[in-house]
């Protein structure tokens, strides 16, 4: 897509991750926005630097080396807008995922209604919910005060009361919060976000604002049946920014560069997923997964409605030991192609804690890294599946809904030694269903692009259109349980040249059909043995056109849910076979 009337504004997107800081420079080239240059450096937010700007300066130096453009002066900071000599940049977008998760609490009326909505809202940030208080909390008033003091929250979200519903009970919930905040030293008091019944919003503000900063957002639970987290996104994002800047003063400069719009990286990522879901035909959702060093984001959007969650305890860096709350050492070890003991996995995890930015050099380390990535993905999917809307189209309970496309980000997935390894991690970790395109965020720029899209939506569209993201494979995953080697899918591929390829896929196998980028083919699919590929119902097939990608068409007939052999040697044989197929 090009635009002759394009306003030629350049944009610098800076993404400060927990391990790595990235900068992307976008500019108008030949009538369209392009990614011109990128830089990467270690993040310097934590000691001994305690100042993210050291890492940012390194990436800006790299951009300068590539483009010749000076982006910032040591004394006066970033040059905005571009000056007559062509130095500087017209706009800056900043995303942040570095830093400890915010300490938070959720308060509401009913545990599984408004308290849950408050927790869901907090789960869109890098945050840890330390405690929650509901109407049926059996603790005494002083015990609730103690719970708040012990949690020492940075942020408390209060929800509760549907529109036109309860108001008195909500007011009662405020009492321990007010008292606890009063008891805290002024500089340690949390920010409060009230996102409940709008009738009492002013009352809550009046009760608390003399003690703590209070912000009011639209009700996240306007009725028992509906949850509207998006209505409170603007406020919670601003509170997050204020707290981050309060806790790390040098971030103020970065925030100022972005005009005060510094965005949690996870929200930038989710924005792009939501955008895709508006762009792609309805009928399926869009899924995005970003596996980082200190957190993992999962964002699913259905017809523009976003379902977004950050797991701030799941990542491949220093938070790695938390994975053992979700899975076992044995379950991690089962994904390796060689005999790896539980204690070897334990030692590997500890080594990653010590050196979160270190890289696997040996084949064994590589397998362990990828085994950990698989289990993180599986943990995230397991925890998220129940939160997807019940109306989301899917083959059955407990399975991932049908998605098109699936956007995958995070170095372990995007920078694996081979694309085949990337894809197998994704297939094993996510257990995709039906027909979907796996899109790889090869430069890990989706979060930054999400933040940039707020300033310049056209830029995001055009950069995506021009190949910043890689179509990794078209994946067809029949949902079926059958005996090994029972045929579950009949496939006919008709290439543009007229050449045809026919094959029957047996249960338990993976198959790759080449279809290179730039090519197109017609697919005719006939599920067998009541396999469901999402074309209406089990056993129903049809035809479709598909575009080429790096891995072509991959048929994952290993069944859903995926069962691995309990026999270690057979399991390893299977892994080697699957990888060989994909690497062929």
Partners of 94 in the β-ladder: 14
Q: Which of 90, 146, 454, 550 binds another protein (CB under 8 A)?
A: 146
Closer residue to another protein, CB minimum distance, 99 or 292: 99
Give the integer Cα–Cα distance in Å for 484 and 437. 26
361 binds another protein (CB under 8 A): yes
Query: What 3-state DSSP class applies to 191?
Result: strand
Non-local CB neighbours of 472 within 8 Å, separated by 6+ positions? 408, 419, 422, 423, 426, 438, 439, 440, 549, 550, 551
Neighbours of 366 (CB within 10 A): 18
Applying CB under 8 A, the span of 157-165, 209-217, 338-346, 554-562 interacting with another protein comes to 338-346
576 binds another protein (CB under 8 A): no
Closer residue to another protein, CB minimum distance, 226 or 350: 350
Q: Tell the smallest beta-carbon distance from residue 481 to another protein (Å).
A: 34
Q: According to CB under 8 A, which residues from 147 to 176 bind another protein?
A: 149-150, 152
Strands 305-311 and 403-409 turn out to be unpaired
327 binds another protein (CB under 8 A): no
Applying CB under 8 A, the span of 253-261, 275-283, 388-396, 413-421 interacting with another protein comes to 413-421
300 binds another protein (CB under 8 A): no
Non-local CB neighbours of 371 within 8 Å, separated by 6+ positions? 332, 333, 334, 335, 336, 340, 345
Query: What 3-state DSSP class applies to 84?
Result: coil
Give the integer Cα–Cα distance in Å for 573 and 551. 22
Q: Which of 32, 49, 253, 381 binds another protein (CB under 8 A)?
A: 49
- Asked whether the beta carbons of 159 and 114 are under 8 A apart, the reply is yes
Q: How many residues in the chain?
A: 584
Q: Which of 100, 383, 503, 568 binds another protein (CB under 8 A)?
A: 100
**Sole residue written with tokens 């997107």:** 13
Closer residue to another protein, CB minimum distance, 319 or 432: 319
330 binds another protein (CB under 8 A): no
584 binds another protein (CB under 8 A): no
Q: Which of 7, 76, 168, 185 binds another protein (CB under 8 A)?
A: 185
Give the integer Cα–Cα distance in Å for 258 and 528. 54
Q: Tell the smallest beta-carbon distance from residue 148 to another protein (Å).
A: 10
Measured between its terminal Cα atoms, the distance across the chain in Å is 34
Element (H, E) at 175: helix 168-183
Q: Which of 1, 8, 66, 141 binds another protein (CB under 8 A)?
A: 141
Give the integer Cα–Cα distance in Å for 189 and 239. 13
Give the integer Cα–Cα distance in Å for 538 and 158. 44
Applying CB under 8 A, the span of 42-50, 153-161, 283-291, 443-451 interacting with another protein comes to 42-50
Q: Tell the smallest beta-carbon distance from residue 418 to another protein (Å).
A: 6
Interacting residue ranges for another protein, rule: CB under 8 A: 41-42, 44, 46-49, 54-55, 58, 99-100, 140-142, 145-146, 149-150, 152, 179, 182-183, 185, 188, 318, 342-344, 346-347, 350-351, 353-355, 357-366, 415-418, 421
């Amino acid at each position: 897509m090009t635009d002759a009337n394009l306003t030629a504004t350049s944009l610098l997107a800076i993404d400060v991750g927990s391990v790595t800081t990235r900068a992307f420079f976008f500019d108008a080239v030949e009538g369209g926005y392009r990614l011109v240059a990128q830089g990467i450096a270690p993040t310097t937010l934590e000691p001994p630097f305690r100042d993210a700007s050291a890492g940012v300066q390194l990436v800006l130096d790299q951009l300068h080396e590539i483009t010749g453009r000076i982006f910032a002066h040591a004394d006066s900071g970033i040059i905005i807008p571009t000056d007559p000599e062509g130095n500087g940049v017209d706009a800056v977008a900043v995303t942040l995922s570095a830093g400890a998760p915010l300490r938070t609490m959720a308060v509401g009326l009913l545990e599984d209604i408004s308290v849950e909505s408050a927790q869901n809202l907090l789960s869109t940030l890098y945050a840890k919910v330390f405690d929650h208080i509901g109407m049926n909390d059996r603790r005494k008033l002083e015990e609730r005060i103690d719970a708040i003091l012990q949690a020492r929250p940075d942020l408390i979200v209060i929800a509760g009361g549907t529109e036109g519903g309860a108001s008195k009970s909500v007011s009662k919930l405020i009492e321990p919060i007010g008292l606890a905040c009063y008891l805290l030293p002024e500089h340690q008091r949390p920010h409060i976000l009230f996102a409940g019944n709008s009738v009492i919003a002013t009352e809550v503000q009046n009760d608390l604002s003399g003690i703590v900063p209070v912000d009011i957002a639209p009700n996240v639970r306007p009725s028992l049946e509906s949850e509207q987290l998006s209505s409170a996104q603007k406020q919670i994002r601003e509170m997050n920014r204020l707290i981050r800047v309060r806790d790390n003063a040098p971030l103020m400069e970065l925030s100022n560069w972005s005009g005060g719009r510094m965005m949690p990286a996870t929200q930038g990522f989710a924005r792009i997923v939501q955008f895709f879901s508006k762009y792609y035909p309805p009928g399926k959702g869009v899924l995005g997964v970003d596996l980082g060093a200190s957190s993992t984001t999962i964002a699913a959007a259905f017809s523009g409605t976003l379902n977004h969650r950050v797991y701030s305890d799941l990542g491949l860096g220093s938070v790695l030991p938390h994975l053992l709350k979700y899975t076992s050492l044995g379950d991690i070890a089962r994904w390796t192609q060689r005999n790896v003991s539980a204690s070897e996995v334990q030692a590997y995890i500890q080594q990653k804690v010590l050196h979160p930015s270190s890289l696997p050099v040996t084949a064994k380390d590589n397998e362990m890294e990828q085994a950990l990535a698989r289990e993180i993905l599986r943990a995230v999917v397991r925890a998220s599946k129940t939160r997807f809307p019940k109306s989301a189209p899917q083959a059955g309970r407990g399975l991932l809904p049908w998605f098109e496309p699936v956007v995958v980000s995070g170095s372990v997935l995007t920078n694996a030694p081979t694309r085949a390894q990337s894809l197998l991690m994704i297939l094993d970790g996510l257990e995709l269903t039906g027909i979907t395109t796996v899109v790889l965020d090869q430069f890990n720029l989706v979060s930054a692009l999400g933040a940039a899209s707020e300033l310049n939506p056209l830029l995001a569209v055009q950069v995506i259109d021009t190949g910043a993201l890689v179509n990794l494979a078209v994946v067809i995953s029949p949902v079926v349980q059958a005996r090994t080697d029972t045929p579950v899918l009949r496939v006919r591929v008709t290439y543009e040249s007229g050449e045809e390829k026919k094959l029957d896929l047996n249960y338990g196998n993976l198959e790759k059909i080449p279809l290179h980028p730039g090519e197109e083919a017609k697919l005719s699919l006939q599920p067998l043995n009541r396999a469901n590929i999402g074309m209406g119902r089990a056993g129903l097939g049809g035809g479709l056109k598909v575009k080429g990608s790096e891995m072509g068409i991959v048929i994952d007939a290993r069944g859903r849910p995926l069962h691995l052999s309990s026999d270690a040697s057979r399991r390893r044989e299977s892994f080697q076979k699957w990888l060989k197929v994909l690497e062929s």
